[in-house]
A and B are shown apart, each in its own frame.
Chain A
Amino acid sequence: MTFAAKSLAALALSALLAPAPPLGAAEIWVTNEKDDTISVIDIATLEVVRTIATGERPRGITFSKDFSRVYVCASDSDTVQVLDAATGKILHDLPSGEDPEQFVLHPNDRHLYIANEDDAVTTVVDTETRKVVAQINVGIEPEGMAVSPDGRIAITTSETTNMAHWIDTQTQQLFANTLVDARPRHAEFTAGGSALWVSSEIGGTITVFDTATQAETGKITFDVKGVHPDRVQPVGFAFTEDEQTAFVALGPSNHVAVVNAETLEVEDYILVGRRVWHIAFSPDKSLLFTTNGVSGDVTVIDTAKRQALKSIKVGRFPWGAALRP
C-alpha cells in the first residue's frame, strides 16, 4: 500500500471511529506569520475552508471561553485583535503593548497576559474594559505564556534571560524567577496545575517544575535518530486529556516527540513538516495539528497510532494554532 493509500485508509478509519462532528464542524485556526492571514481548517474534511485577513505578523492565537471571539497577536501592528469567530470580522483592537508575540487567557475569561517580545514586559489587558491592567517587567524577549488552572499563577518565559517568571495574578507582581536552559519558548501547567513544563529551544530540553515550591523536579531530553542534537529544538507542546502523554514540537528537527508525562521518557518521534512550531488537538484529541513554518503547511497526526496522516497547505510561515470546537 502506498503512503497515500495508507493515509486514506487511516483517515477513513479515523472518520469511522471518531464521533460524528457536530453541525458547524470543529476547526483549527492557524496564524500565518508572513501572510498576515489566518487559515481555517475544517477538522472533518481536513481542508482549508476560510482565509481571514489580520493585522501584521499574526502569531499568538486563542479563543474566548465560549469560542465566540478569537484573540490574535498582530505583532508588527503592535496590537491584539479581537475577531468574531463566526464571521472572521475584526471587531476591535486591544491595547497590547509593543510587539505582542504570545499570550494566555486567564480562566476568568477577562484578563489576557501578553508577552511583549521587543519590550521585556508582560502586559495584562482586561478584554472587557479594553484597558491595560498592569505591566510587569520581565526578562529579555518574553515569549512563552501560561496560567495555572486555578488562575492564581501566570508564567512568562524570556528567551534571552533564560527564565520562567512567576506572576502572582492577585498582585500582578513577580514572586519567583527560575532559570531554565537556553531560549525558553513555551510553558504549560499540567497534573492539575501541580507541575509546570517549560521548553528550551536552544537548550534542547523541557524543564519540569513543582508549582508549589518552584523547584526543578525533572528534565526531558530528546534524541532524534539521524538529527544532530543542536537541531533538536523543542518549542510548542500539549498534553492529552488524561495528561499522561505530551506531544512536543521539535522545531528544525522536523519531528514531534511523544513524551510519557509520568516517566519523562520519550516514547516516539513522528516525522512532520519543516520547522514545526506549535500544535493543537481536535476536540476529542484523536488528531493533532502542527504548524510547520518553513514548509508552510500543517501536518495532521493520528494521536492513537502516532502517525502523520496528511499535510495541509496553509499560508506562509504558519505559527500558532488554536481549536474552535
Chain B
Amino acid sequence: MRFLITLLMALCPAAFATAAGIEVPVIYLKQQEQQPPTLSNLDPQPADLGETGARLGLADNRTTGSFLGHSYSLETVAVPPGGDFAAAARAALARSALLILDAPKPALLAAAALPEAQEALLFNTASPDTGLRSGDCRRNLLHTLPSDLMRSDALMQFALSKRWTGLALITGKNPQDQAFAGALRQSAAKFGLEIAAERTWDYGADMRRNAAQEVPLMSQGLGRHDLLLVADELQDFARYLPYNTWLPRPVAGSEGLVPAAWAPVVEQWGAAQLQSRFQELAGRKMLARDYAAWAAVRSIGEAVTRTGSADAGVLRRYLLSDAFELAGFKGRPLSYRSWNGQLRQPIPLATPRALAAQAPLPGFLHQHSELDTLGLDAPESRCGAFQ
C-alpha cells in the first residue's frame, strides 16, 4: 500500500502537492424559535431553513476536498426555544472554531462575547440587523446574510431608476417589520425619495372583515404614490396587498417585488445548477437564509482550499483580504467588507415568477466597488472592531 501511494505521488505530484490531510469540522448552531401565527398557512417556514444550505455547501466543499486531501464535516446543534444558546456555543467551540450561527441578534452577541470565541470564526447567516454591521459589530463575527439596509438600498435603487419617486409604506408590528421599515426610510432618504405616507398594520382584535377587504380602505388614506412599500418580514398580511389597494400600484418590500439574498427564480450566472442541486438535496426551493448558510460554508471551503489551513485565524485573515473571491452565482465575485465583515453581494429583486432586476443597478457608481452602494459603506459604518 505504501509503495502504491509513493508511486502515485511520484506519478502525479500536482495531485498530491497540497494533500496534507486537513480536517475541517464546522458546527451549525441553530436557535429554534416559536414562529408567531400568520393569517395564511400557505407558506410555512421550512424546518430545515438555512441548515440545508449549509449541507449543500458541505457537499460542494467535500468534492473539492476530495482532490486535495481536505476532509470537511458538518454537525448541527439545535438549541430549543428559550434554551441557553451561549452554553451551546461554548460546548461547540470546544470541538470547532468554525461556527455557523442561525440565531437572532442577542444570541449572536452572546456567542461572540464568549472567551472561547475570541479566536474563533463565527458566521451570522440569520440576522439582518444593520447594527451588527455597525456599532454592534464583533471582530469574530462575519455576516453572509445581507443587512436590512442592503436590501432596502437595492429596492430604492430600483424605484429611483424607474422614477417611482412617490412612496407609501405599510408596516407590521413585529420588531423585524419595524427594523426593515427603518431601513426603507433610511434608504429612501439616501436616494432622495420620499415616503409621503405611512400606516401600521394593526388589525388585531378589531378586524371585522378579512384582510383583502381591509386593504382598499386602509390604502385609500395613503394619498398619491407610485409604489407601495410593505414591511411584513414574518409574512403575515402583506400577501393580501397586491390587487387590493385603492389605487392600482405595484407592491414591493416584503411582498411583490422582494429584495433578498436569493430567490428561487434566480437562474442566470449558472444559478440554475445551484438551484437544481439544492432542490435535489432538500426537496424544496432555495431561500435567502439557505443561500447565506451555503455562502458561509463555501467561504470556509474556499479559504481552506487557497490557504491549505483550517486555522480560524488564518482563514479569517484570508477571507478579509483582497485575495478572497467567492463565485456565488450572482454574476460577479463576492468578498467580505474589511470594515465590518459583511459579505459584499448583489441583491436580486424578484417577483414570485421572475427576476425583475438585480442591484446594484446600472448608474449607481462607487469609487471602489458598485456592490458597496448597497448597505453600510466604510464611512457610514460605526464598526471599529475590524481595524
Interface set, chain A 211-251, CB cutoff 8 A to B: 213-215, 228, 230-231
Q: Is A162 touching B64 in the complex (CB atoms < 8 A)?
A: yes
Q: Mark A99-125, 1 if CB is under 8 A from B, else 0.
A: 000000000000000000110100000
Q: Which residues of A contact B371 (CB under 8 A)?
A: 230
Q: Mark B1-36, 1 if CB is under 8 A from A, else 0.
A: 000000000011111000000000000000000000
- Report the minimum CB–CB distance from A215 to chain B (whole Å): 7
> A95 at the A/B interface (Cβ < 8 Å)?
no
Q: Mark A38-69, 1 if CB is under 8 A from B, else 0.
A: 00000000000000000000000000000000
- Tally of chain A residues near chain B (CB < 8 A): 34
> A97 at the A/B interface (Cβ < 8 Å)?
no
Distance of A183 Cα from B331 Cα, bound (Å): 11
Q: Is B325 touching A181 in the complex (CB atoms < 8 A)?
A: yes
The contact of A228 among B67, B276, B327, B369, by CB within 8 Å, is: B369
Q: Which residues of B contact A165 (CB under 8 A)?
A: 67
Distance of A139 Cα from B15 Cα, bound (Å): 13
- Report the minimum CB–CB distance from A212 to chain B (whole Å): 11
Chain B residues touching A, majority SS: helix
In this complex, what residue of A is CB-closest to B67?
A: A177
Q: Which residues of B contact A158 (CB under 8 A)?
A: 63
- Report the minimum CB–CB distance from A196 to chain B (whole Å): 12
Q: Counting chain A CB atoms within 10 Å of each CB, which of B14, B64, B68 scores highest?
A: B14
Q: Mark A276-298, 1 if CB is under 8 A from B, else 0.
A: 00000000000000000000000
Distance of A253 Cα from B289 Cα, bound (Å): 31
Q: Which residues of B contact A160 (CB under 8 A)?
A: 60, 63-64, 273, 327
Give the size category of B's interface with A: 20 to 34
Q: Mark A156-178, 1 if CB is under 8 A from B, else 0.
A: 00111111011000000011111
Q: Which residues of B contact A139 (CB under 8 A)?
A: 63-64, 67
> B83 at the A/B interface (Cβ < 8 Å)?
no
Distance of A233 Cα from B67 Cα, bound (Å): 26
With A177-B15, A228-B370 as contacts: A118 and B64 at CB distance below 8 Å: no
- Report the minimum CB–CB distance from A252 to chain B (whole Å): 7
Interface on A for B, CB 8 Å cutoff? 117-118, 120, 139-141, 158-163, 165-166, 174-179, 181-183, 201-204, 213-215, 228, 230-231, 252
21 CB < 8 A contacts A-B: A117-B273, A159-B273, A159-B327, A160-B60, A160-B63, A162-B305, A162-B327, A175-B15, A176-B12, A177-B14, A181-B325, A182-B302, A182-B325, A182-B333, A183-B327, A201-B327, A202-B327, A204-B333, A214-B13, A228-B369, A228-B370
